[in-house]
């Protein structure tokens, strides 16, 4: 069996793992914030990248976007679109965290709830958050390139469509 043939057999299963992993991340992230939309808004505002009112609106909407992405990826519906939106969000998160780091802000990203200004004496460690989001961006990119996965609604709805 050639490497190309093995890759074509393995790729949909790797995509399935990627899809379900991203779904879990989005569902946990959105689920941890949906109960405190004001807190999510404060976390976004702490980055100081947009006016406070806009940040509160973005923060209140973000958990619902994350949950919607998680559900789409979980069931494998519109996988390429959900992965592309995921990749865009991860890129935005990376830029936002890097900007906070570069400007010397002392905040918690609020990626999985909480967030906002850190207490005096607490020091942020932005590198793990950036590395996590770079890894997730790569996973999302994999799904943008190869969206066909197993155990997905797309698999049944797009039967016969080229990958």
pLDDT for 161 beyond 60: no
Q: In this predicted model, what pLDDT tens digit does every residue of 42-64 receive, in sequence order? A: 999 999 999 999 999 999 999 99
Residue 28 lies in a domain: yes
Residue 47 lies in a domain: yes
Residue 107 CA to its chain's centroid (Å): 19
Residue 134 lies in a domain: yes
pTM of the entire predicted model:
0.93
Q: 73 falls in which pLDDT band (50, 70, 90)?
A: very high
Residue 162 lies in a domain: no
Angle at CA of residue 128, ends 124 and 130, nearest 5°: 95
Residue 55 lies in a domain: yes
Domain count, the chain: 1
Residue 163 lies in a domain: no
Q: In this predicted model, what pLDDT tens digit does every residue of 4-44 receive, in sequence order? A: 889 899 999 999 999 999 999 999 999 999 999 999 999 99
Q: Which domain holds residue 87?
A: 3-157
Residue 66 lies in a domain: yes
Instruction: Indicate the angle between helix axes 3-33 and 126-145, nearest 10 degrees.
Output: 130
Residue 71 lies in a domain: yes
Sequence-ordered alpha helix ranges (H) in the chain: 3-33, 37-45, 52-75, 79-102, 126-145, 153-157
């Amino acid at each position: 069996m050639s490497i190309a043939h093995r890759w074509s057999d393995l790729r949909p299963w790797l995509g399935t793992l990627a899809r379900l992993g991203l779904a879990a991340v989005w569902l946990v992230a959105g689920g941890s914030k949906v109960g405190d939309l004001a807190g999510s808004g404060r976390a976004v505002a702490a980055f100081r990248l947009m006016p406070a009112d806009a940040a509160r609106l973005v923060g209140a909407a973000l958990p619902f976007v994350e949950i919607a992405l998680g559900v789409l990826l979980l069931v494998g519906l519109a996988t390429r679109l959900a992965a592309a939106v995921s990749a865009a969000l991860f890129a935005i998160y990376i830029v936002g965290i890097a900007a906070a780091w570069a400007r010397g802000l002392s905040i918690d990203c609020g990626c999985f709830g909480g967030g906002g200004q850190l207490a005096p004496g607490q020091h942020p460690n932005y590198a793990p958050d950036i590395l996590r989001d770079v890894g997730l961006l790569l996973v999302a990119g994999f799904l943008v390139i190869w969206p066909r996965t197993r155990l997905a609604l797309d698999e049944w709805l797009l039967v016969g469509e080229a990958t």
